[in-house]
A and B are shown apart, each in its own frame.
Chain A
């Protein structure tokens, strides 16, 4: 797959990561794989990992597909896994916001999928530009 990644920065912590990526399609699986690594290392069940990976992929795909229809831009992803076994994922872009698109290239089910999987879903336009998607997931830990 072609695509350029610019200004990539990653800060690893014991319970999360932050990524700043070009809004290109090949960066979406990169986010998913980082998330999967975090959750696998934390003992989250595979079925839950698959669901969360799907929801976060949909959020990132929205940023790549819709945020910058006429320009290049970036998006940021932050994942925090709290000791209370709650995962918070924020996907932020600085694009055109959630305006309706009659020429939308997507299937239109991304948001419903995210809403169905996440235990909480918030969508905001902080500072008056772009979109911030904040998803909270309960993640069941290993049997203790």
Chain B
């Protein structure tokens, strides 16, 4: 027997008519929570490499110490990024994830997108255009 595609609709209509005034069983439920997030934004410009990695680490450590739930590094004005500095960023992102926070990296500059793409960092870090 081929089911009639409209059966369900008819049944719903009958149920609705026969149980008028009674609460209906919902097929979806919705709850609402208010999430309080605090974000700390670290703005960086210039070159992020082995020579500035320690300064980057200090800046991120200080930002994490704020206890923020979102740590956003705005690197839109960064003109260079190497794997040493990327390691510092990844370590900070992992620490944020371990405490239930989120690490975001604003990376509009095409000059730094190359290493981000090559290392598939987007699997670990939330990238913002």
Q: Which residues of A contact B50 (CB under 8 A)?
A: 25, 28, 57, 61, 64-65
| CB atoms of B82 and A54 under 8 A apart | yes
Of B1-9, B30-38, B97-105, B110-118, which stretch is located at the interface? B110-118
> How many B residues have CB within 8 A of the partner chain?
20
SS class, residues of chain B in contact with chain A: helix
**CB of B42 closer than 8 Å to a CB of A:** no
Q: Which residues of A contact B47 (CB under 8 A)?
A: 29
| CB atoms of B51 and A109 under 8 A apart | no
Q: Which residues of B contact A51 (CB under 8 A)?
A: 114
> How many A residues have CB within 8 A of the partner chain?
24
**CB of A40 closer than 8 Å to a CB of B:** no
| A112, B117: Cα distance in complex, Å | 13
| CB atoms of B80 and A107 under 8 A apart | no
**CB of A86 closer than 8 Å to a CB of B:** no
| CB atoms of B52 and A1 under 8 A apart | yes
Pick from B55, B84, B110, B118: contact of A65, CB under 8 Å:
B84
| CB atoms of A109 and B119 under 8 A apart | yes
Footprint of A on B, CB under 8 Å? 47, 49-53, 55, 80, 82-84, 86-87, 90, 110-111, 114-115, 118-119
In the complex, given contacts A1-B52, A28-B51, what are 18 additional A-B residue pairs having Cβ atoms less than 8 angstroms apart?
Answer: A3-B51, A25-B53, A26-B51, A28-B49, A32-B49, A50-B114, A53-B80, A57-B82, A61-B50, A65-B84, A106-B84, A107-B86, A107-B90, A109-B86, A109-B119, A113-B83, A113-B118, A113-B119
